[in-house]
Amino acid sequence: MAEDLWKKEYDFAVAVARKAGAVIREAGEKEIKVCTKSSTVDLVTKTDERVEKIIIGSLKEEFGEGTHCFIGEESVAKGEPCILTDKPTWIIDPVDGTTNFVHGFPFVAVSIAFAVNKELEFGVVYSCLEDKMYKARRGKGAFCDDDRITVSDVEEIKKSIIISEHGTDRSPEKVKKIFSTMQKILCIPVHGLRGSGTAATNMCLVACGAVEAFFEIGIHCWDIAAGAVIVKEAGGILLDVDGMSIRSVNCVAINQALCFGETPLLKNRLCLTIQGGPFDLMSRRMVSANNKKIADRIIKEIEIFPAERDDAPIQKK
């Protein structure tokens, strides 16, 4: 029946996420395998690889290798393609919050999403140390365990808590922009800034109304795919941090205004026209929020820096 499309896959994803979470909870293998390449600090352990193998192995066994595609963080690190096609595709982060996992910081998640025709059909985020199963199917609402969840109804940025993360890139110019953005948002002022150390969990915190927004530049599709469905189904909004064309239209408007001596109008035009673009899973730039007003207000403060798309062609060596 049409309404139960992908139900079997969804139920299976919930079961696999639970199984993977149990493996993470019991894992003794926290030794860092890969840590630093040039200016990034991106930890990987044997557990990340083991858990991904368990998840993809179980999915292939259940649904067959030929018809379904897989984008997994550790497989992509080993050179597998990261391209979303129209085929049914699983997007997997086996251990989101690897740094937390290594240090025993208590937020670690398994993130599994499923897309068909490039559209996300469902997402499952298992916050395995808290034992909370966040899940959502397109058009069917979002849940934490058996309870329906919804985003917060706060509309005033000054009454909000915002999450952001500094990510894995440690190049000074990027870190400067990240902290400058955080400073500007903190000084709006907002009630607080937070960060759990896992993008997937951060998105679930937006979905259940504990915070108003989470944004980051530099995240990957496997960090946010499942969370994106959960935020949307909880009534929230997803945007790219940059509405490029809108910004450039704005530049033309500024030039025209300057030529015609309309400078007093400039500030208003600028405020009205800077806004996010459509959410793009592969762009590595995302704002998730309870509503557009909060999202737009945050986007106004974000200092954008380049991050190579997840689906960028692999450079030949």
Among 112, 142, 154, 199, the residue binding ligand IPD under the rule CB under 6 A is: 199
- Closer residue to Mg ion, CB minimum distance, 40 or 263: 40
- Closer residue to Mg ion, CB minimum distance, 96 or 212: 96
Number of residues that bind ligand IPD (CB under 6 A): 17
Minimum distance between the CB of residue 223 and ligand IPD, rounded to whole angstroms? 4
93 annotated binding-site participant: yes
- Closer residue to Mg ion, CB minimum distance, 168 or 273: 168
Please state, in angstroms and as integers, the Cα–Cα distance from residue 102 to each residue in 14, 72, 108, following that order: 24, 20, 10
Which of positions 96-125 make contact with Mg ion (CB under 5 A)? 96
Minimum distance between the CB of residue 223 and Mg ion, rounded to whole angstroms? 4
- Closer residue to ligand IPD, CB minimum distance, 169 or 275: 169
Q: Does 72 bind ligand IPD (CB under 6 A)?
A: no
Q: Does 225 bind ligand IPD (CB under 6 A)?
A: no
223 annotated binding-site participant: yes
Q: Does 167 bind ligand IPD (CB under 6 A)?
A: yes
- Closer residue to ligand IPD, CB minimum distance, 76 or 289: 76
Among 219, 234, 239, 241, the residue binding ligand IPD under the rule CB under 6 A is: 219
Minimum distance between the CB of residue 170 and Mg ion, rounded to whole angstroms? 17
Q: Does 227 bind ligand IPD (CB under 6 A)?
A: no
Q: What is the DSSP string of the chain?
A: -GGGTTHHHHHHHHHHHHHHHHHHHH-----EEEEEETTEEEEEEHHHHHHHHHHHHHHHHHH-TTT-EEEEHHHHHTT------SS-EEEEEEEE-HHHHHHT-S--EEEEEEEETTEEEEEEEEETTTTEEEEEETTS-EEETTEEE-------GGG-EEEE---SB--HHHHHHHHHHHHHHHTTT-SEEE--S-HHHHHHHHHTTSSSEEEEES--HHHHHHHHHHHHHTT-EEEES--HHHHHHHHHHHHHHHHTT-HHHHHHHHHHH---EE--TTSSEEEEESSHHHHHHHHHH--------TTSPPPP-
The region of 74-82, 192-200, 206-214, 301-309 touching ligand IPD under the rule CB under 6 A is: 192-200
- Output the known binding site for Mg(2+): 73, 93, 96, 223
**Residue ranges binding ligand IPD (CB under 6 A):** 42, 73, 93, 96-99, 165, 167-168, 197-199, 216, 218-219, 223
